[in-house]
Amino acid sequence: MTSHHRREATSDSETEPSRRLFMKAAAAGVPIAFAGCLGGDDDDGNGNGNGKGNGVGDETEVDTDDSDATYGGEVLWGGSVPVQSLDPHFESAAASARVLENITQGLTRVNWEYEVEGLLAESWETSEDNTELTFNIRQGVQFHDGTELTAEDVYASFNRIEEQQGLAADYMALVDSMEVVDDHTFEMVLSEPFAPMLSRMATSHMHIIPAHQADENEVDEPIGTGPFEFESMELDSEFVMVGFDDYWDDDLPYLDKVTKNEISDDDNRLNTFNAGELDFINGVPPRHAEDLEDDPDIDFIRRFPQSLTYLGLNCNEEPFDDIDARLALDYAIDKQEVMEAALYGQGQVATSPAAPGSEWEHPDLQPRPQDYDLAQEHLEAAGYPDGFEVTFQIPEQYNDQVTAAQVIESQAAQVGIDLNIQLITWSNWLSDVYTDRDFQATTSSYLALWFPDAGFHRPFHSDGAFFFTGWEDEEYNDLVDEARQYYEMDDRAPLYHDAAEILQERRSGHILLYWMPTLMARTHDFQGEVMSPDGSTFRFENTWME
Amino acid sequence: MSTSRFTLTEERKAHYGRFIRQFRRNQKAMIGLVIIVALFFVAIFAQKITIFDMTIQPFSLTPHEPEATNIQNREESPSLQHLMGTDDLGRDIFSRVLVGARISLYVGFTSISAAMVMGTTIGVVAGYYQGLIDEGLMRAMDAMMSFPPILLALTIVAVLEPSLNNVIIALALVYTPFIARVARSAALSVRNESFVEAAVARGESDTYIIFREVLPNCVGPLLVQASINIAFTMLLEASLSFLGLGVQPPTPSWGLMINQGWAFMGDAPWLVFFPALAIAIAVIGFNLLGDGLRDVLDPKGEIIE
């Protein structure tokens, strides 16, 4: 058995059967003969039959079985968004996180159950009151420069995040003290129980770099403990990483080299792939997905949750300060049609900010159906029997949102809600809509929502890092705050289910539209599960070339 | 006094008669005129026009609602049902191209009218007074002309934020200097004519002389300039919309249709082809008319005597 299964064994106690669990079973060697049937158990969640066949909209099969993997070889990857910088603690772009996942590592990582498991920490203990976390650091782990990983490196990395105000500095603010107990024991004392800390440690924002590099202000070429080491990078052109010979897991990686060609143009990238010049591409344009899916020479891969697209309403201003006005718009929108139009049926209609198919997701919650009569009733209750007019600011660079906006506009017009579309640049969106909150209605999306605190706290909690719609609900805030204190999924999940109901029933300032998947295509030569369970980053360690 | 006015009108009538005869004989001008009349027909009858609950134009040429999305029919190739196919949201491109004519003509005419009012006033005043006023006004116009039109329009729209009305304002400002230069040179030559000297000798006010004596005699070259520039404003509107700084979706501007159809060039070229064809026809129409008018209204020989 390969190392992968050892890692699976460290995950927490069994939970109810789920799609994710099924995948784990498949990974453990259960024969796989269910291709295309994976959507079966969550059809009620999003399967408003669109006449396009069963598979569309659900994930393609996750196959983590690497028993027939072969060593050596290079994969040529056509990437959608260029890597700009590589400082794990400061780089927020998803494109950088995608490669950093292979170079640097955290104390924890996410598994296919959306739970955190140990990575550089073999295990951890929590004190009675859940405020003291003691990590047992894995032995025999080498950095790419040959130095050995110790608790000192962990301390130095976290200290850097705190002192230099890295992206995870808000999390470090909850740390009262840190201590290097011995070479392989690291202790962190929190000011209050805070479960999301363990999830955040799995992201590159809290990855571990050697102490001598943590002293530097800028990290251009991170030294990590990952299965691949940074080789070279030419901005907007090429990024190369090579397999690390002394990786602590002796079985991995299989590949010698990963070369990423930066090809930003969607059609260009796809054409280059079709011409046989690449083994693997991400960012497949949704409208070509169906053709690729039907192509027997190509592996088409669809993974959630890359991002969640929503319709944002300003709850501090007329007309959307009135819940009835928000409900009227909600009832006017056919989310399935919006998703079909924007993503050619490749996405999933969103019901809550919890990752689709996870235990964090409310099992029965449904989006409001389109109902013009109810929309009209709510318009009257809001005092706008003839409808109203608002500006609808859309970031122009996201094609799916520009398309979605036009469908929403045409649906809302049916009940007299005039949405005047205004295409704006992303920098204007950030300054006017997000920072100044000078907007009435808008669309945007959130990335990396695999851990529930990211989805429920950042955009919706009044103190959240991305809070901007002005919708405030004390009961909601209390639930999300309370959920942060529980370390076990079984204790936490029900709180998020309740929170999702509040978001829906009290019509928060976000009308959730759809989950956008990561769409990828590859030749049959490139094998193994390349996606990380977070739905956005890649793990090349599990892949090989035939 | 009254007899002299009468003979002047007689004289003008003769000019107009000659102008119409020559215009009719000019093939280019006539083709241009036919295209433009057809465009107007399409623009007016494309859709119902309702102002204050009053339907002025009761019927509609468009077979489908140009803004109605229907994603079941997305990206369909041209057929009898959809003469120019459908776009990525299932909207009928034929209907959108027809309504697009209305937007193009509306933008073209309003912006050129505004540019004519501003440019003519500036040019004629500069040409009549000469000296410092002339220098000041025309150097300001030169400064504006030193920017490429697309860049200046982009800057103005970016500052004002993109919308149909701001595009019109930007285009009017961009084309004002072009009109002003023509108006000034025409005014300069008219200024030294004997009837202007006579008016001065009669003791008429400057305003009277500028607007009653000088201006009417500058119309010819201005008309030529306007009819050529209107083609450019329509093209520039399309460019601005193409760059995402003009008309906002879902309004069917030809430029915006090309912008949104661009991504589909490979598998659904009709999304781009038909709006582009419409722009080409409209631009050719106005250019032919402008060229024809120039041939006929030879500024020195005919209208201005």
User: What domains appear along chain B, each with residue ranges and CATH number?
Assistant: 82-297 (1.10.3720.10)
Least confident window among A152-156, A273-277, A396-400, B273-277: A396-400
How close is the nearest chain B Cα to the Cα of A336, in Å?
11
The pLDDT of residue A109 is above 90: yes
Tokens standing for B92? Answer: 């009928």
Helix (H) or strand (E) holding A405: helix A399-412
Out of A285, A287, A410, the one facing B250 most closely (by C-beta) is A410
The residue type at A455: G
Mean pLDDT, to the nearest integer, of A452-457? 90
Cα B48 to Cα A195, B54, B109, B250, distances in angstroms? 61, 10, 20, 18
Left, alpha or beta for B125 (phi > 0: left; psi -120 to 50: alpha)?
A: alpha
Structure confidence at residue A506 (pLDDT) = 94
Question: Residues of B numbered 149-168 whose beta carbons fall under 8 angstroms of chain A's beta carbons: which are they?
Answer: 161-163
Q: Which of B65, B80, B254 has its CA nearest to residue B167?
A: B254
Residue A55 CA to residue A339 CA, distance in Å, equals 16
In sequence order, what are the residues at sequence separation of 6 or more whose Cβ sits closer than 8 angstroms to the Cβ of residue A241? A99, A102, A103, A228, A229, A230, A231, A257, A258, A540
Q: How far is CA A359 from CA A13, A24, A42, A230, A347, in A?
A: 13, 14, 12, 36, 19
Give A-chain residues touching B250 at CB under 8 angstroms.
406, 409-410, 421
Q: What is the mean pLDDT of residues A230-258?
A: 92
Give the distance from residue B156's alpha carbon to the nearest chain A alpha carbon, in angstroms: 15
- pLDDT of A153 > 80? The answer is yes
Residue that the structure tokens 């950093």 belong to: A100
Q: CA torsion sign, A92 to A95 to A100 to A102? A: positive
Contact criterion met (CB < 8 Å) for B89 and A406: yes
Bond before A193 cis per omega within 30 degrees: no
Are B283 and B234 contacting, i.e. CB atoms less than 8 angstroms apart?
yes
Contacts of B295 by beta carbon, 8 Å cutoff, 6+ apart: B22, B26, B28, B29
Give the contacts of B204 (CB within 8 A, at least 6 positions apart).
Answer: B212, B213
pLDDT of residue A57: 62
Residue B266's closest chain A neighbor by CA?
A: A267
Given a contact cutoff of 8 angstroms between Cβ atoms, the answer to whether A325 and A379 are in contact is yes
A402: chain B residues, CB-CB within 8 Å? 249, 260
Of B71, B163, B244, nearest to A396 by CB-CB distance is B244
Interface of B with A in 273-292 (CB under 8 A): none
Q: Are A356 and A515 in contact (CB under 8 A)?
A: yes
| Nearest chain A CA: its distance from B266 CA (Å) | 9
Rg of chain B in Å (alpha carbons): 22
- Beta bridge partner(s), residue A177: A189
Q: Checking phi first, is residue B25 left (phi over 0); if not, alpha (psi -120 to 50) or beta?
A: alpha
Is B78 part of the contact surface with chain A (CB cutoff 8 Å)?
no
Q: Do A407 and B67 touch (CB under 8 A)?
A: no
Cβ–Cβ gap B68/A409 under 8 Å: no
List the one residue out of A226, A103, A79, A77 whose CA is nearest residue A525. Answer: A77
Tell me if residue A80 falls in helix, strand or coil. Answer: coil
Q: How far is A339 from chain B (nearest CA, A)?
A: 10
Q: Which residues of A touch B71 (CB under 8 A)?
A: 337, 340-341, 407
Tell me the per-residue pLDDT of A73-97, one tens digit each, with 9 for 90 and over. Answer: 999 999 988 888 899 999 888 888 8
The Cα A236–Cα A260 span in angstroms is: 10
- What residue in A sits closest to B263 (Cα-Cα)? A267
Residue B202 has a CB neighbour count (10 Å cut-off) of 9
- Spell out which residues of chain A touch residue B268, defining contact as CB-CB under 8 Å: none
A369/chain B closest Cα distance in angstroms: 18
Residue type (1 letter), B262: W
Q: Contact A341/B266, CB-based, under 8 Å?
A: no
Structure confidence at residue A372 (pLDDT): 95
Three-state secondary structure call for residue A116: strand
**In this complex, do B249 and A267 lie within 8 Å of one another by their Cβ atoms?**
no
Q: What is the pLDDT of residue B19?
A: 79
Q: Which residues of B touch A407 (CB under 8 A)?
A: 69, 71, 89
User: Comparing C-alpha atoms, which of A333, A338, A416 is closest to residue A376?
Assistant: A416
Given a contact cutoff of 8 angstroms between Cβ atoms, the answer to whether B64 and B217 are in contact is no
Lookup result for tokens 């329509």: B234
Q: Is the Cβ of B71 closer than 8 Å to some Cβ of chain A?
A: yes
Rounded Cα distance between A318 and B237, Å, is 33
**Strands in A80-195 per DSSP E:** 108-110, 116-118, 121-126, 132-137, 175-182, 185-190
Q: How confident is the model at residue A144 (pLDDT cuts 50, 70, 90)?
A: very high
pLDDT of residue A46: 36
Short-list B85, B169, B83, B187, CA closest to B127: B187
Q: Are the C-beta atoms of residues A219 and A212 closer than 8 Å to each other?
A: no
Cα distance between residue B60 and residue B50, in whole Å: 12
Determine the angle formed by the axes of helices B219-242 and B270-296, rounding to 10 degrees: 170
SS3 A137: strand
Helix (H, G, I), strand (E, B) or coil at A238: strand
The CA distance from A196 to B23, in Å, is 80
CA distance A302 to chain B (A): 22
Residue A51 in 3-state DSSP? coil
Tell me whether residues A266 and B263 touch, CB distance under 8 A. Answer: yes
- The b-or-e profile of A442-451 (16+ CB within 10 A means b, else e) is bbbbbbbbbb
Q: Which of B211, B190, B188, B192 is nearest to B138 (CA)?
A: B188
C-alpha distance from A406 to closest chain B C-alpha (Å)? 6
pLDDT-derived band at A514 (thresholds 50, 70, 90) equals: very high
- Asked if B162 and A423 come within 8 Å (Cβ–Cβ), the reply is yes
Nearest residue to A415 (alpha-carbon basis) of A386, A382, A440 = A386
Query: SS3 letters for A280-302?
Result: EEECCCHHHHHHHHHCCCEEEEE
Does B68 contact A at CB distance below 8 Å? yes
Which residue in this structure is represented by tokens 């909207």? B91
Q: What's the complex ipTM?
A: 0.77
Q: What is the mean pLDDT of residues A408-432?
A: 92
Let me know: does A338 contact A407? Beta carbons within 8 Å.
yes
Q: What is the CA radius of gyration of chain A?
A: 23
Q: Write the pLDDT tens digit of every residue in A485-508.
A: 988 888 899 999 999 999 999 999
pLDDT at position A150 is 93
Probe site for chain B from A52, A396, A427 (most B CB atoms < 10 A): A396
Among B224, B231, B175, which residue's Cα sits nearest to residue B35?
A: B231
Q: Hey, is B126 helix, strand or coil?
A: helix
What pLDDT sits at residue A51?
A: 35
pLDDT band at A33 (very low <50, low <70, confident <90, very high): very low
Across the 305 residues of chain B, what is the mean pLDDT of every consecutive 10-residue run? 54 78 86 93 81 69 83 87 89 91 90 94 90 92 92 90 89 94 90 86 87 85 88 88 84 88 87 94 91 74 37
User: Which residue of chain A is at minimal alpha-carbon distance from B67?
Assistant: A410
- Residue B50: the pLDDT is 63
Strand partners of residue A517: none
B250/A423 CB distance under 8 A: no
> Residue B139 contacts by C-beta under 8 Å, 6 or more apart in sequence?
none
Indicate the helix (H) or strand (E) that contains B153.
helix B149-160
Q: What is the mean pLDDT of residues A352-361?
A: 88
Tell which wins on pLDDT, B192 or A382.
A382
Choice between A15 and A283, residue whose per-residue pLDDT is larger? A283
Compare CB distances from B69 to A341, A396, A422 and report the shortest one's residue. Answer: A341
B248 in contact with A, Cβ within 8 Å: yes
Nearest to A410 among B67, B248, B263 (CB): B67
Do B74 and A423 count as a contact with CB atoms less than 8 A apart? no
Which two structure tokens, joined as six digits, stand for A332?
A: 């006017």
A283: left (phi over 0), alpha (psi -120 to 50) or beta: left
CB-CB contact of A213 with A144 (8 Å): no
Question: What is the structure's pLDDT at A32?
Answer: 32
